[in-house]
Amino acid sequence: MTEDFWTRRKAQVAAEAQAVAIEEHAAPEPDFSEMSDAEVLAALELPDPDQLVAGDDIKGFMLKNVPDHLRRRALRKLWRLNPVLANVDGLVDYGQDFTDNAMVVDGLQTAYQVGKGMMAHLEKLTGSTTLLESDEAAEEEISDAAIALVEAETLALDPVESVAEAAVETSAPPRRRMRFDIAQEAAV
């Protein structure tokens, strides 16, 4: 029964969509390219976009069959009338267009280096390259000493104990079996 309902519902939706498509194609769309703006506005029963005042509805200008230039005129008028749309505040973070190719400078160099930041620029200002080299040498000495200490500790371990521990760790735990006596519970 549910299959029949959904099959019928799917057929109804398809029929409705087909009826809407037929209505759209059946209505002849007038050719507004040869008409003046006043004639187009009269044919579509719309007011002159330049005569709109605050609070007027511009939904009619957003319809599909309205020519694009009339739609834009209505939107421009709306943006001039509404102070919220007309006066964008200067606090918009990404309000400017940074994709302007005319503003790109050829051969632009930056002091920023990935992973180092502005380090090269600061080194030139302070002359601290020798300080960095001495820090790197000290780090290498510390790391060599740490490696030697770890190697000494590893050799100091008793190899017999470590092998015995490894053997204990690799043995598998005993398997567990569960038994259920269903017959006894059913009899009770």
Q: Alpha helices, DSSP H only, in 27-128? A: 37-44, 68-81, 83-86, 119-126
78, 71 in Cβ contact below 8 A? Answer: no
Three-state secondary-structure class, residue 62:
helix
Three-state secondary-structure class, residue 113:
strand
What's the pLDDT tens digit per position in 10-52? 999 999 999 998 887 776 667 777 888 899 999 889 999 999 8
Domain boundaries, the chain: 8-86, 119-170
pTM of the model: 0.37
What's the pLDDT tens digit per position in 65-74? 899 999 999 9
Which distant-in-sequence residues (6+ apart) come within 8 Å of 32 by Cβ? Answer: 40, 43, 67
